[in-house]
Structure 1
Amino acid sequence: MPKTLYFYNVLLCLVLIGCHKNTHTYHVSDYGAIGDGKVINTVAIQNAIDDCHTEGGGTVTLENGNYVSGTLLLKDNVNLHIAEDAKLIGSSNPLDYQSIDTFTDATGQERGNCLIGAKNAAHISVTGKGTIDGNGEAFLNKNIKAKIKELNIIDTKGFGTNRPFLLRFVNSSQIKVQDVHLRQPAAWTCHFFESNDILVENVTIYSHAHKNNDGIDLDSSYDAVIRNCDINTGDDAICLKTTSPKPTYNIQVSDCKLKSDWGSIKFGTESMGDMYNINIKNCYIYDTKGGGIKILSVDGANIHDITVDGIQMDRVDMPIFIRLGERLRTYRDANKQDVGTITNVFIKNVKGGTRVLDSSRVNPPSGILISGTPNHKIGNIVLENIELELPGGGKEEHTMVRVEEDETRYPEFSFFKVLPAYGLYGRHIDSLQSNKVVFTITGNDKRDPQVLVDTHTIQPK
C-alpha cells in the first residue's frame, strides 16, 4: 500500500473513532414524529437534528415504526440512527424535497434533491440496522402524472424531474455510513461530492426503482474506505468519478459483493478531475450485465496508480474494459480539459467467467477490451494471474471485424460490438504487460485469443 494511502487510512480511523463523543440521544417520537407510514415527519425529524446539533451533538434515533419524510439535512456532530425495527421512507411528493448544490449530470438531467443530505458539515453519520427506503417508484412517469392530478398542480414544468438521491454529502468531512439497509431511491443511492474522510461499512444497497440507480458514487472526493458492503443496482454499483476538476484519490474498496445491470466497479464516465491512489481488492462480482471492471477517462482525467487485486467474477459481461477517449464533456461550468491519460494500472488475481451467449450484450462476448486513441495512447497496464472462461461463438467473419475508433463517443464496450478476439483486444497502448493471463472457451470460436493493434508489449521478468 502506498505510504500516503496508509497515512490517510490511519487518520480516517482515528477521526471516526473520535466521532460523536457526545452521547446525548434525541428520539424523534419526542418531537412528534409518527411512524405509521403515512404522516409526513420532515419537520419533526429535522427539529430533532437541529436540537442535537445546537446542543453539541449526539444521536437522533428513529425506532419502532415507518417514518415518512422529505429532505433531512444533517449538521455537525449528528448521528442519524435508524434502529433495526424502524424504516425511514421517502415522501411520494416531489415538493417535500430540497436540492443541495444543484448540478446537471452526464445525461443532461438536473440533480441535487435528496432524502438525507449534508453540506459543509463535519462529524456526521448514518447508522443502525434499519432501512432507508427512497420510494423511488413514486417518481416513475405514471406516478408523477397521478401526483400532479392528486395535488392539482397547474404549472407542471419540471415537477418531479429532479429525482431525489437517497443520501447526498457535499463538501463535508468525517462521514460514516454504517450497517444500514439502503433501498430504492429515485436516482443515485449514496453520493459523496467534494467530501473527505469517509467510511461506508457493512451497508446493503438494493437500487432498481428507476433509471440511473447507482450504488455508491465517490465524486471529486478523497480519503475514503468502502468495505464489507453488499450492493445490487440497476446502474453502477461502485462508481469513482469527477464531475468537477477536483480529483478523487486515496480510496480503498474491499470485501464487497457487487451486482449491476451496467457496471460493478467503474471509473467515470464523468471524468474531469484526476483519479489516483485507488486500491480495490477481494470483491465478488456476479450477474453483471454491463461490465465488471471499467476504467474510463474521457473528459480529461489522469487516472494512475490503480490496483485491482483478488476479484472473483461470475456471469459478468466484459470482465475488464479500459478506455481513454476524447469526449471532453464539462460539468458545473468548468473549463474544458485537455485529453487525459491512463497509466500504472495493475489488475491481478481475477478469476471467473462471462455471461452465456443469449444473455450477453455483445454476442459473442470477449473478456478484455483496452483502447486508447490514435493520438492519445494508454500508458502502462499490467495484467497478472487472470483466468476467464468464455462461451465462444465467434465466426470466421468476426475475425475480419474493423473496430471503430469512436474517440468522442460515450465510452461503452457494447458500442464497439463484436471484437476480433475472444480473449483480449488491445490497441493504442504504450506498455502492456501480461503474465499468466488465460482464456478458456467452452464452445467453438474462430477468433484469436488475443489481438493487439499499435501496442507495445513487455514480457514479464
Structure 2
Amino acid sequence: MKIYDRLWAVIAVMLICGSAAYADTVDMEPAWVKNAGAHHLAKKNKIFEVTTYGAVNDGKTLNTKFIQNAIDDCSALGGGIVTFAPGKYLTGAIYLKQNIQLQIAKGVEILGSQDIDDYPEIPTRVAGIEMLWPSALINVLHQHKVSITGGGIINAQGKPFWDKYWQMRKNYEAQGLRWIIDYDAKRPRAILVSDAEDVMLSGVTIEQAGFWTVQLLYSKFITVDGLTILNNIDGHGPSTDGIDVDSSADVLIQNCDIDCNDDNFCLKAGRDWDGLRVSRPTEYVVIRNCIARAGSGLLTIGSETSGSIRHVWATHLSAIGTKNGLNIKSAVTRGGTVEDIHFQHIEMKDVGTAIAVNMNWNPAYSYSALPAGYDTAHIPPHWKKMLAKVEPAEKGIPHFKDVYISDIHVSGAKQAISVTGLPKSLVTGFHFQDVSTQAKSAGNISFAGDWTFDRVSIVAEDGRKVNITESEQVKL
C-alpha cells in the first residue's frame, strides 16, 4: 500500500471529524447505536499454546488437528486463550468454541491450506442461498463469548481458488450458466461467524481470502474492530468481499481498512425464493471510522435484500479509488425493504459512482434460467432453489425508502449519482444535506419520489446537470 495513500486516508478522517460539527447537531445518534457490538466476552486467562499440542511453526506442516486439539481442551476446561509461538502455521478449517480467545499475535502468520479437502462442507448460506459449502478457515458456529485478536496475519492463500473460479466461469458462461457459477465454484471463506452471539474480531490482518473474507451470518452482538483486509495481493480475488453482515443484528464495525476486489463493507439478507423463505433481516448495524480502498462499494446494501435491511448508521468513513460510495442494489426477484439508512460524514476520492442505486442489478447474474438439455430431476438442490419462482411475482419487487445522506464530500468521481428504480417501486424518501460532489458526469435519476435536497452541489466536468426522469417530487 502506497505511503501517500495512507497519509491521505489519515488526513481525510481528520477532515471528516472536523467538518462534522454542524451535521452532528442535526443527525442525532439513535439510542440503538450504543447497543450494537459484543456485550460479554470470555474473561479467563489460562494459556493453551498450540506448539505444546504438536503444532509446528514452519509454514509447511499441516497443523489442523493440533490447533483444534488446543481449542477443544481450552473449551473443555472452561475457556481461556489459545496462543501461538512466533512463526508460520499451515492449517485447514478450525472451529472455535465458547469462552475462547484465539490470539494471533504480531509475528504469527496463519496460512490457509490450498487443498479444498481441508475445509469440510457444512450447511451454511452463501450469496443468499442455504446450501452445503466448504467450512471457512476459522469458524465460530453456534457459539458465544468468542474472540479472535492480535496483531498477526491470517493469510488464507486463496489464489488457487481464484484461478479455479475464473476457469469454471469461462466454461459456465459458454453454457448460459453465469447465474450459478458463484455457487458451484466452492471456495473457503476466511472467517465465518454463524448462529453466534457476543463475538469480537480485533486487530488482525487478513490476506488473500479464497472467497468472502468475514461473513457474519444469523448472529447478533458482534464487534469487528481494527481489521486490515488485503485481498489484492498476488492478483485480484473474485468475490473477495471484505466484511459481509448477513441476516444479523446489533453489529458494530469500526476502525477497519479494506482493500479487496468486491464489496468492501456489505449488508445482505437472503436471495430470491430461498431468502424470502428464511426471511431474516439485517438490522441495527453501525459502521464507523473505516477506510475502503479498491473494491466495489464503500457501503453496499444488497443485492441480497429478501429478508430486508434496516436501521444502519454509517459514519466517518472514507473511500479511496473504490468503485462506488453508497451502493444499494437488488433485483425484481429479491423482494425485501431497505429502509432507515444513515450515510454521513464521508470523504470520497477518485471513486466510480458516489451514490449508486439499482433495483434491477446485473441481470446476467441476478436471474436464473436453465438452458435446454438439462433434466430438472437431476440437478443439484441449490440449483433448484435458485430456479424456484417467487410467487406471486409482486413478492419479488424490492422497496427502498428513507435514506439520509449528509456531510458528504466527493472529488474526482466518474459519476455523481446513478439511480434506477422501478415503475412499480419508486426509490422514495432520499434526503440529501450538505453534499458536495465533483465528477466527470452528473448522472441520472429515474423512478424516484419524494426526495429533498439542502445545500447540495454537483459540479460535472461535462457541464450537464443530473438527468431526472419518470420521477415525482425530485428536483435538484
What is the TM-score with the length of structure 2 in the denominator? Answer: 0.78
Report runs of 4+ in structure 1 exceeding 6 Å deviation: 106-110, 142-145, 326-332
1:169 aligns with 2:196: no
1:138 aligns with 2:154: no
User: Residue 74 of structure 1: which of 61, 78, 96 is its match?
Assistant: 96
The one of the two structures with greater contact order (alpha-carbon pairs below 8 A, sep at least 6) is 2
- Please tell me the residue identity of whatever aligns with 2:411: G
1:293 aligns with 2:326: yes
Q: Which position in structure 2 is the counterpart of 1:433?
A: 452
Equivalent pairs, count: 399
Q: CA deviation at 1:219?
A: 0.4
Contact 1:314 1:353 in 2 (8 A): yes
1:342 aligns with 2:400: yes
Separation of aligned partners in 2, 1:144 and 1:263: 22
- Please tell me the residue identity of whatever aligns with 1:384: Q
Contact 1:90 1:133 in 2 (8 A): yes
Q: CA deviation at 1:49?
A: 0.5
User: Residue 322 of structure 1: which of 346, 352, 357 is its match?
Assistant: 357
Q: Which position in structure 2 is the counterpart of 1:204?
A: 228
Q: CA deviation at 1:142?
A: 7.0
User: Residue 471 of structure 2: which of 445, 455, 458 is its match?
Assistant: 455
Deviation per CA, 1:76-123, whole angstroms, max 9, x where unpaired?
111111011101110121111123324453799974431001211111
Separation of aligned partners in 1, 2:350 and 2:408: 13
Q: Which position in structure 1 is the counterpart of 2:259?
A: 232
- Please tell me the residue identity of whatever aligns with 1:435: D
Superposed, which structure 2 residues align to 1:111-122 within 5 Å?
111-122=133-144
Q: Give the secondary structure class of the aligned counterpart of 1:249.
A: strand
Q: Give the secondary structure class of the aligned counterpart of 2:292.
A: strand
Identify unmatched segments of 5+ residues in structure 2.
1-27, 168-181, 369-381
Identity %: 26
More helix by share: 2
Contact 1:428 1:453 in 2 (8 A): yes
Contact 1:232 1:258 in 2 (8 A): yes
Q: CA deviation at 1:161?
A: 3.7
1:36 aligns with 2:58: yes
Contact 2:123 2:132 in 1 (8 A): no
Structure 2 CA distance for partners of 1:127 and 1:4, relative to 1, 3 Å: same
1:187 aligns with 2:187: no
Identify unmatched segments of 5+ residues in structure 1.
146-157, 356-364, 392-421
Q: Which position in structure 2 is the counterpart of 1:148?
A: none
- Please tell me the residue identity of whatever aligns with 2:259: N
Q: Give the secondary structure class of the aligned counterpart of 1:6.
A: helix
What is the TM-score with the length of structure 1 in the denominator? Answer: 0.81
More strand by share: 1
User: Residue 242 of structure 1: which of 262, 266, 269 is its match?
Assistant: 269
1:276 aligns with 2:306: no
Q: Which position in structure 1 is the counterpart of 2:250?
A: 223
Q: Which position in structure 1 is the counterpart of 2:175?
A: none
- Please tell me the residue identity of whatever aligns with 2:304: E
Contact 1:381 1:432 in 2 (8 A): yes
Superposed, which structure 2 residues align to 1:381-392 within 5 Å?
381-391=430-440
Separation of aligned partners in 1, 2:30 and 2:258: 29
Q: Give the secondary structure class of the aligned counterpart of 1:43.
A: helix
Contact 2:359 2:398 in 1 (8 A): yes
Deviation per CA, 1:240-276, whole angstroms, max 9, x where unpaired?
0112321000000001011133222100111211111
Q: CA deviation at 1:339?
A: 1.3
Deviation per CA, 1:152-202, whole angstroms, max 9, x where unpaired?
xxxxxx9x9421100011111111000111111111100011111110001
